[in-house]
Amino acid sequence: QLLPETAARREVQRKILVGAGYTSRTAWINLTAIRFTLAFLSVVLIGYFLITLPSSAEPWLMAMLVIAPLLAWALPPLVVSFKASDRRMDIERGLPDVLDMMNMGVSQGLTVPQSLKRISREITNVHPALAEELTLVHHQAEVGNMPQALRNFSQRIDSPEVSSFTSLLIQSEVTGTSISRSLTEYSDGIRSSLKERADSRANLASFKLLFPVALCLMP
């Protein structure tokens, strides 16, 4: 109750933490504790420097006494957000390979849960984040059911590719239809989408570099 966070803000933090791989229920409390600790340590450290350093450094230290706690408070959520973004990109890059491997498994007579269990072991070294998520899907399917486990996967990772992937598997699991051809077509579609997205980022990067280069060349 003493944490200065609203329920809506805690829910946003929880989604970001889950996307970064921190699935514990107390992850957002741990994040807030880290932010408090870093801010407090920065105040203590700068206070020590105020006592030990000469008075000529006092104006700079007083400014750091305000800036450092703010940075220490804001830095951990930014780190978690960057990790969630990198993890989502790694999962998106690994989905086409998973679809191809699942297509081979389904074609050989394996069920969707058996294919996911096998694939999660095979891609651990290449796509560890996706392997972790598929393992979690398999465990949740053993406790409950596969459609709900796939929905949880879609809720944890905020990505259109993941949502389409889980929708495809849920539909095949509920209706019992063959998904071999759908997996092939969807794998090609994801690769095309990722390629277009990469081209868009490359074109945008050249535009973003224009202003720093101009400012650096101006002097």
In the numeric block, the tokens 């392997």 are attached to 131
- Mean pLDDT computed over 113-123: 84
- Mean pLDDT computed over 214-218: 80
Q: Flag the least confident range among 79-83, 173-177, 181-185, 214-218.
A: 173-177
120 burial (CB, 10 Å; 0-12 / 13-18 / 19+) is buried
- The model's pLDDT over 21-74, given as tens digits with 9 standing for 90+, comes to 888 888 888 888 898 899 999 999 988 888 888 888 888 888 888 899 999 998
Whether 99 contacts 187, CB under 8 Å? yes
Token code pair at residue 126: 């290449």
The confidence score (pLDDT) of residue 178 equals 62
Could you give the CA distance from residue 32 to residue 90 in angstroms, rounded to a whole number? Answer: 27
The confidence score (pLDDT) of residue 2 equals 55
What's the whole-number average pLDDT of the chain? 83
Whether 78 contacts 111, CB under 8 Å? no
Is 125 a residue whose pLDDT tops 90?
no
Q: How many CA atoms, within 13 angstroms, populate the side-chain half-sphere of residue 58?
A: 4
- Mean pLDDT computed over 9-19: 83
| DSSP 8-class letter at 108 | T
Q: Percent of the chain having pLDDT more than 90?
A: 9
Verdict on whether the full-model pTM lies above 0.95: no
